[in-house]
Amino acid sequence: MPKIEIMPSILAADMGNLEAAVRLCEQAGADQIHLDIMDGVFVPNISMGPAVVAMINRVTDLPLDVHLMLIRPQQHIEAFAKAGADTILIHIEADCDVEDTLQKIRELGCKAGITVNPPTPVDSIFKTLETGLVDEVLVMSVNPGFGGQSYIADAEAKVAEIRRRYPEMLISIDGGIDLETVKPAAAHGANLFVAGTSLFKAPDMKEAITQMRKTAEAVFNSAI
């Protein structure tokens, strides 16, 4: 059975003091760090590049889950792999040969992931999943581009269908995840939870991560 993991999204941190934010995540018991990379084309925002990923990699041993919200991710995967990404996720909606790009991610020594946006039907990724090239599926529960958005419950049906077809798959969910929304997300089969605002705004991140993990484990284990 897939393990429950909590991944703080560094996009919600104080960008002027990222090292402190990463240390906080470590001390709070985070399982991985999630990094949202935006190009201002695929999504209407620009965030960070390989240099920031490399800096974070230098100050932590936590795995880095790097989410490329890029129109042409194939042009950048080598730079992010060299910067220290452990997992690189691309979008099914990106302008690239998805299977070829996933293969190259693996050849660079990283785990490969595929991401699906809220408007995109979940069956758009099934052909790709059948290739065996995917280590993680990321289901977006907000429209990507900005933090702090409200959770879109329609994502749960996508998670459930992926879990039904691929029982051992790592399924992450990103967008509006907090102590309440983690319950239905876990009940439908998500096991990796990306949380930004709810963790970085919490009075005690360690307590927030502990409670989120306990809640997810209880619901996931009873539902799956």
For tokens 């051992």, what's the residue? 168
Work out the number of other CB atoms within 10 angstroms of the CB of residue 192: 26
- The answer to whether 190 and 25 have CB atoms below 8 angstroms apart is no
Active site residues: 36, 174
- Each as own residue / partner, the long-range contacts of residues 120-125 (CB below 8 Å, 24 or more positions apart, any chain) are 120/92, 120/93, 122/157, 122/158, 122/161, 122/162, 124/92, 125/92, 125/162
Distances 80 to 32, 34, 55 between C-alpha atoms, Å = 16, 13, 12
Strand-pair partners of 139: 116, 173
